Amino acid sequence: MFRTDLRLRPDPGSTPVAISFDAALAYYESRGQNWERAARIKARACAGDKQVGEAFLKELAPYVWRKHWISPPLPISEP
């Protein structure tokens, strides 16, 4: 048996414990946090339908490994 922190899921204050595949993808694409991106680097399917878990992780790959950095540029300091 593994202990699971149920707060470590998309928007834990306002979503049920289990959300749909599409709802999870929409969350990560629109409001996912950097710590969630980092956590997904080592994510593996470990329970339930392994093929569905692997498909979900494959769909999340663009979220985890972004092609372009999405943040404001660093300020340039004058000497």
- 36-45, Cβ contacts within 8 angstroms, sequence gap of 24 or more: 37/63, 37/64, 37/66, 39/8, 40/64
Over residues 15-54, the pLDDT tens digits come to 888 888 898 888 888 888 888 888 888 888 888 899 998 9
pLDDT at 40: 84
pLDDT at 72 over 70: no
Average of pLDDT values for 54-76?
76
